[in-house]
Structure 1
Amino acid sequence: MESWEMHLWFGDYLDALNRHELDAIREFIDPGVRRAHLPRGAEAWIADLAELFHAFPDWRWKRIQLVAEDDRIAAHLRGSGTHTGDYLGIAPTRRHVNVAEFAMYRVANGRIAEFTGSPDAELRAQLTG
Structure 2
Amino acid sequence: MEPWELHGWFEEYLDACNRHDLTEVRGFLDPAVRRAHLPAGADAWIDDLADLFHGFPDWRWKTIQLVAEDDRIAAHLRGSGTHTGPWRGIPATRRHVNAAEFRFLRLDKGRIVASSGSDDTDVEAQLTA
Whole-Å Cα distance in 2 between the matches of residues 57 and 97 of structure 1? Answer: 12
Q: TM-score, normalized by length of structure 1?
A: 0.99
Which contiguous aligned blocks of 4+ residues in structure 1 show a shift greater than 3 angstroms?
Answer: none
Aligned to 1:125: 125
The residue correspondences of 1:1-129 to structure 2 (distance < 5 A) are: 1-129=1-129
**Could you tell me the percent identity over the aligned residues?**
68
Partners of 2:95 and 2:101 in 1: how far apart?
18
Question: What letter corresponds to residue 57 of structure 1 in structure 2?
Answer: P
How many Å separate the matches in 1 of 2:86 and 2:38? 19
Q: Distance in 1 between matches of 2:23 and 2:108?
A: 19
Q: CA deviation at 1:27?
A: 0.3
Amino acid in the other structure paired with 2:39 = P
For 2:32 and 2:105, locate their aligned partners in 1 and report how far apart those are by CA, in whole Å.
14
State the aligned residue count.
129
Residue 18 of structure 2 aligns with an amino acid whose one-letter code is N
Two-structure CA RMSD over aligned residues (Å):
0.4
Listed as ranges, the gaps of 5+ residues in structure 2 are none
Q: Structure 1: 5+ residue runs without aligned partners?
A: none
Per-residue deviation at 1:34? 0.1
Q: Secondary structure at the match of 1:97?
A: strand
User: How many Å apart are 1:88 and its aligned residue?
Assistant: 1.1
Please give the secondary structure, in 1, of the residue aligned with 2:23. helix
